[in-house]
Structure 1
Amino acid sequence: MTNDAWLVLGLGNPGDRYRATRHNVGHMVVEELAQRFGGAFKRHPRATATVAECRTRPGGPKIVLAKSTGFMNTSGGPASQLVKYYGVPLDRLIVVHDELDIPFDSVKLKRGGGHGGHNGLRDISSALTPDYLRVRVGIGRPPGRQDAADYVLRPFASTERDNLPVLVSDSADAVELIVEHGLLEAQQRVHGKS
């Protein structure tokens, strides 16, 4: 594969126990993208991940959608393996993840930065560099004194589940905008909606 491809890594944890949790919203977004583009996830031969290779449109940019088959705190290994395997430059790596510091139902885009206590981002930044693109999917802060680690591993509340498909769709739109138009234009469009 040539280096004009994009790698979109959706963060999450494996297994049915975590499937509907806030921490798995990254997986939900790449699954939405695979459905849009007609891609099917298959186990990767050289990375601890499943991938779906597709295009945004006929003749459009090639995208490798990926989900680690390991746990969140080991996301760096699969990210590094996939970047090397596909020869994707780091300015074409998009990591989609849950973000406590953004209200639920909001999406923010950026390049680089700290990990903010997010173990998946911490591991990717250690394995590669912190200077990759991020689609930050807002899940909001836990209510009251609830522990953040406990909060992210719980399913979305019933009031959130009604809006979750829109949030996932908006996040998938943000990925498409980055791929098709670049980060700056994507930020202007996505952040302008807030």
Structure 2
Amino acid sequence: MHLIIGLGNIGKEYENTRHNVGFMVIDELSKAWKIKVNFAKFNALYGKGTVNISGNEYNIILAKPLTYMNLSGRAVKQLMDGFLVPSTHIIVIHDDLDLPLGTLRIKVGGSDAGHKGVRSIKELVEDPIIRVRIGIGRPINKEEVVNYVLEEFGKDEKFAILDVIKRSVKAIETIISKGVEVAQREFNQ
């Protein structure tokens, strides 16, 4: 069983913001794998299904925490305990200010680098957690970070984000079917 969690904030006003790119990847996985994310439990919306990747069947749970970003660890811990998923089978997808817009990096463990959603998870869940980091770039003025992550992507940024979301689906399929190291070699830029 693999638990795939996209980080973001709930509510219409946050739907297309930079901070919600994790939710966007879950939505894309939901479409690609035909798993509806519509059950509410464990402080999350989730869906379960079996997915065929490269000829093998995998049991998958897709989830979006309902705790808001900074308390994501609560939902991750409850999902993990509720479905008896070990930390080595958890993939967390989140935005990353330190990566250029549209880039993707797969990482196991490591520091939270100031990301409060990741920090919340690390406080409650034992490493190693597999993370798919989606680059959203950084604002020119460091004081504008909070507003920046809560803004929608601009017209000129949408192509890069749609592309990295599609690549994230392939990266997650590779992590599940071939392992993290293979996925890192193939997708880390």
What pairs up with 1:105-184 in 2 under 5 angstroms?
Answer: 105-184=102-181
Which structure: greater strand fraction?
A: 2
Poorly superposed stretches of 4+, deviation over 4 Å: none
Q: Distance in 1 between matches of 2:127 and 2:92?
A: 11
User: Aligned in 2, Cα 1:116/1:130: closer, same or farther, shift over 3 Å?
Assistant: farther
Tell me the SS of whatever aligns to 2:94. strand
Pick from 57, 60, 83 the counterpart of residue 60 of structure 1: 57
Q: Distance in 2 between matches of 1:152 and 1:130?
A: 26
- Matching residue of 1:85: 82
Aligned sequence identity (%): 35
Q: Distance in 2 between matches of 1:169 and 1:146?
A: 31
Q: Which 5+ residue runs of structure 2 have no aligned equivalent?
A: none
Q: What code does the residue aligned with 2:5 have?
A: L
2:97 is aligned with 1:100: yes
TM-score, with length taken from structure 1:
0.92
User: Aligned in 2, Cα 1:164/1:50: closer, same or farther, shift over 3 Å?
Assistant: same
- Deviation for aligned residue 1:59: 5.1
TM-score, with length taken from structure 2:
0.94
- Matching residue of 1:48: 43
String of CA shifts for 1:28-58, please: whole Å, max 9, x gaps. Answer: 001100100111112333x010111122317
Q: Which 5+ residue runs of structure 1 have no aligned equivalent?
A: none
Q: Distance in 1 between matches of 2:71 and 2:32?
A: 28
- Deviation for aligned residue 1:163: 2.5
